[in-house]
């Protein structure tokens, strides 16, 4: 299996294309917007340049990796003849169902259809196709070239042979795959999001400040980023959407999103991508600046 396609050229999609191309796969990177594809290729090049600077790869490796990625705005052309298609579009259930219905018609009959969803049911996505046995979750973590984990999620009907292939392929990428079942939040976000939500409540209830909460978890627990910085990095809208999936899926009030998070998302403060969340990213300096609201 050496020819794959990635749908969606955002942060996750370009990272996935990057890691596959670095391992010699021929990658079709597909997005409806030409501008998103251009931005994605520039990001991949920047991340490869960083690896060249750190002497992890050579300039030649960088050029071979870039040459291994072809961009498409036409899904039919992009997926033709590919063995594996990984969907990494926006986390929106209606959009994903539509993409999988199309993919089922356009992709080769034997192709595996994977989704990088962080919280939407694999079984539900698979049910939009005529090949639910070949649909699987392949959940990467941001930044994809750095984070070792791939959460491999079996839908209700996923063929164990398909799971075995995806586990092997993930190992071949230099990642560590972990197999999980298809229940709300899978394993990673079921554990991560309540922890982040508790950090939001700790701030909301005035127990401590933004920097203090992050310092507690960085220095006390050895986390590379504090929970509020990590929430900004992931996107506060994404955190809210996943908490809602957990809350609805389990019907347990312990997953109810903190009202502060809801207000911030409503106000358009989405974290790093919008320029402000718990921290203010408008100043480009190296030090994190706490957003005015919490300073």
The H or E element that residue 163 is part of is helix 160-172
Contact between 261 and ligand 3HC (CB under 6 A)?
no
Closer of 78 and 235 to ligand 3HC (Cβ): 235
Q: Which of 9, 143, 23 is nearest to 70 (CA)?
A: 9
Q: How far is the CB of 76 from ligand 3HC (least distance, A)?
A: 29
Q: How far is the CB of 230 from ligand 3HC (least distance, A)?
A: 5
Check if 170 is active-site. no
Distance of alpha carbon 146 from alpha carbon 51, whole angstroms: 11
Closer of 79 and 242 to ligand 3HC (Cβ): 242
Distance of alpha carbon 66 from alpha carbon 21, whole angstroms: 7
Check if 102 is active-site. no
Contact between 50 and ligand 3HC (CB under 6 A)?
yes
Contact between 24 and ligand 3HC (CB under 6 A)?
no
Closer of 15 and 78 to ligand 3HC (Cβ): 15
Catalytic residue selected from 47, 121, 154, 189? 189
176: left (phi over 0), alpha (psi -120 to 50) or beta: beta
β-pairing, 26-30 vs 69-72, is parallel
Catalytic residue selected from 118, 119, 121, 170? 118
From 105-113, 130-138, 143-151, 164-172, give the range in contact with ligand 3HC by CB under 6 A: 143-151
Check if 47 is active-site. no
Check if 121 is active-site. no
Distance of alpha carbon 3 from alpha carbon 25, whole angstroms: 6
Tokens 């190296």: give the residue: 286
Cβ atoms of 153 and 139 within 8 Å: the answer is yes
Cβ atoms of 146 and 118 within 8 Å: the answer is no
Q: Which residues bind ligand 3HC (CB under 6 A)?
A: 47, 50, 54, 118, 141-143, 145-147, 189, 224-225, 230, 234, 238
* Catalytic sites, residue numbers: 118, 139, 151, 189
């Amino acid at each position: 299996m050496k020819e794959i396609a990635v749908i969606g050229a955002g942060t996750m999609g370009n990272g996935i294309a990057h890691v596959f191309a670095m391992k010699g796969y021929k990658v079709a990177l597909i997005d409806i917007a030409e501008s998103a594809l251009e931005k994605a290729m520039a990001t991949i090049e920047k991340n490869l340049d960083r690896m060249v600077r750190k002497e992890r790869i050579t300039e030649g490796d960088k050029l071979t990796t870039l040459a291994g990625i072809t961009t498409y705005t036409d899904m039919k052309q992009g997926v033709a003849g590919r063995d594996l298609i990984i969907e990494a579009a926006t986390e929106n259930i209606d959009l994903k169902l539509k993409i999988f219905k199309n993919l089922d018609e356009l992709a080769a009959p034997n192709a595996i259809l994977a989704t990088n969803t962080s919280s939407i049911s694999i079984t539900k996505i698979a049910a939009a196709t005529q090949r639910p046995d070949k649909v699987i979750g392949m959940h990467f973590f941001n930044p994809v070239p750095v984070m070792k984990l791939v959460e491999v999620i079996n839908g209700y009907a996923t063929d164990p042979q398909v799971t075995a292939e995806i586990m092997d392929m993930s190992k071949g990428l230099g990642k560590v795959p972990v197999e999980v079942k298809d229940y709300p939040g899978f394993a990673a976000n079921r554990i991560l999001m309540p922890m982040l939500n508790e950090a939001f409540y700790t701030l909301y209830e005035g127990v401590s400040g933004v920097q203090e909460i992050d310092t507690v978890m960085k220095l006390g627990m050895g986390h590379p980023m504090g929970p509020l910085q990590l929430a900004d990095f992931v996107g506060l809208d994404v955190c809210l959407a996943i908490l809602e999936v957990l809350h609805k899926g389990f019907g347990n009030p312990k997953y109810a999103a903190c009202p502060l998070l809801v207000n911030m998302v409503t106000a358009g403060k989405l974290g790093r991508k919008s320029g402000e969340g718990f921290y203010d990213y408008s100043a480009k300096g190296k030090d994190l600046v706490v957003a005015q609201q919490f300073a």
